[in-house]
Structure 1
Amino acid sequence: MGDRGTFGESTWHGGYYELAIEVGPRDDGRLQRALTAVWSAADVQGCYGDMRRPPEEQDPVGCTVESLTEFGHVLGQVRLPTGHIVACGCMTIREEGDTPVDWLDFYLPIGALEGAGLDIERPQSYRSPVLDHWLAAIGTAVHGAVAFRAGFIGFETSGCSDAATLGGELPESRRIGSLLPVAGELRYGPANDDS
């Protein structure tokens, strides 16, 4: 196993631990504010566009919606609560249709998390309370900058749910963590269903 903060081939294998944010109606300005807030709240170092080359071998790119569009993602390095530095990234999903919606997905590759001092529960689904609470704090900080519709935390959470499905209430049983604005306050419901 190499350095978890590099962009080696093994870094990106195994899926992703995510904070998937339903930002809201399509709007470049709102999406940019959310991206900037994620990078700041997580204290991501650097911003790069090529996952095949180490950060020191590429020029930085702007942490912008334009870079997300051009490269499909932006990448950096982040210090986990365990003290380990790992690779991370952000991508966007811009839904089409009658009411297009922007999503912003901040992710940590499982290949980078291996050996990063985390007590992973249920390895088949990569549940980590340490990461869940850290990502919830990042989501809370982002919500202070951009009032998003919902956020979902855990292994491969992108596309698992949305604000409309939650209907304004955190479910009692949750296989993934959820951030949801309720009565003007952002509430966090950690994952609690081990089935």
Structure 2
Amino acid sequence: MTRGPRQSPTDPTHEDNWSGGYYEFSIKLGAADDARLDVALAALWHAASLPKPLRRHPDEAPEVSAQALLAGPLNAVATIPGLGSSLCVVMVGRAETDDSGVALEDADWLDLCLPLGALANLDERVGGYPFDGDGDTRGWREPIEHWFATVASAVFEAVPFVHAVTDDEVSGSEVPEVQQGLQGVFRRSPEGGLEVEPVQTWS
């Protein structure tokens, strides 16, 4: 598919920026807990150097808090060292249920997400990732993975989370589901520290 002229990757009014799903850093914090979510969110926001949050509607001005996040995703402009600036979304998932409404898991998942539409407007190498092209993605993914690693260390220091996974649409992924070497993994070691299994295969 031929793309039209690229839009500014930081402009929330361009619907093209919100298309294509998300490249994500998804953190399983543990059992649902507003106080822990508040601490983790503050650590993430600070480590990612995100500015004041915004909603999709410009007349809304939320704060960085668990209460605001539980009311809906918080958007901002992220500056990724070595890559540039893009829209980002921070959201939380909680209390997954089955079709009958019975809770399957009572856990908080804190997600830092980069819309693939905005990333494609930032860097043409993104293309239609992950669905088209067999090229080496390292040039644009590696700066993001390094940025995610910085955020992971800061969040883990504030809140020793269970594990985290990086890649396209990985929210809610458990470690056994991870494609080793193709996706990044951060998890708590038996000694209580943070173990990192970085992406090693980029194509």
Q: Which residue is equivalent to 2:182?
A: 175
Alignment correspondent of 1:157: 170
CA distance in 2, matches of 1:154, 1:98: 24
Residue identity in the other structure for 1:3: S
In structure 1, what is the Cα distance between the partners aligned to 2:81 and 2:69? 26
- Matching residue's letter, 1:74: L
The 1-side partners of 2:179 and 2:187 are apart by 13
Taking the aligned partners of 1:112 and 1:173, their CA distance within structure 2 comes to 27
Q: Distance in 1 between matches of 2:143 and 2:64?
A: 26
TM-score for the superposition, normalised by structure 1? 0.82
RMSD: 2.6
Identity among equivalent pairs (%): 28
- Separation of aligned partners in 2, 1:99 and 1:124: 28
Q: Distance in 2 between matches of 1:118 and 1:139?
A: 27
Please list every run of 5 or more consecutive structure 2 residues that lacks an aligned counterpart in the other structure: 1-5, 97-102, 132-136
**Aligned residue type for 1:4:** P
Give, as a single letter, the amino acid of the residue that structure 2 aligns with 1:155. Answer: D
Note closer, same or farther for the CA distance 1:62–1:172 as it changes in structure 2 (3 Å cut): closer
- Per-residue CA deviations over 1:133-185 (Å, capped at 9, x if unaligned) read 211111111111111000111111113324xx48xxxx893331000111221
Instruction: Give the letter for the 1:138 counterpart.
Output: V
Q: Are the equivalent residues in 2 in contact too, given 1:76–1:89 (CA < 8 A)?
A: yes
TM, length-normalised to structure 2:
0.79
Alpha-carbon distance in structure 2 between the residues aligned to 1:119 and 1:22: 30
Alignment partner of 1:5 out of 5, 10, 14? 10
How far has the Cα of 1:59 moved from its partner? 4.0
Aligned equivalent of 1:89:
89
Aligned length: 183
2:39 to 15, 33, 49: 33
Q: In 2 relative to 1, CA 61–121 (structure 1 residues): closer, same or farther, beyond 3 Å?
A: closer
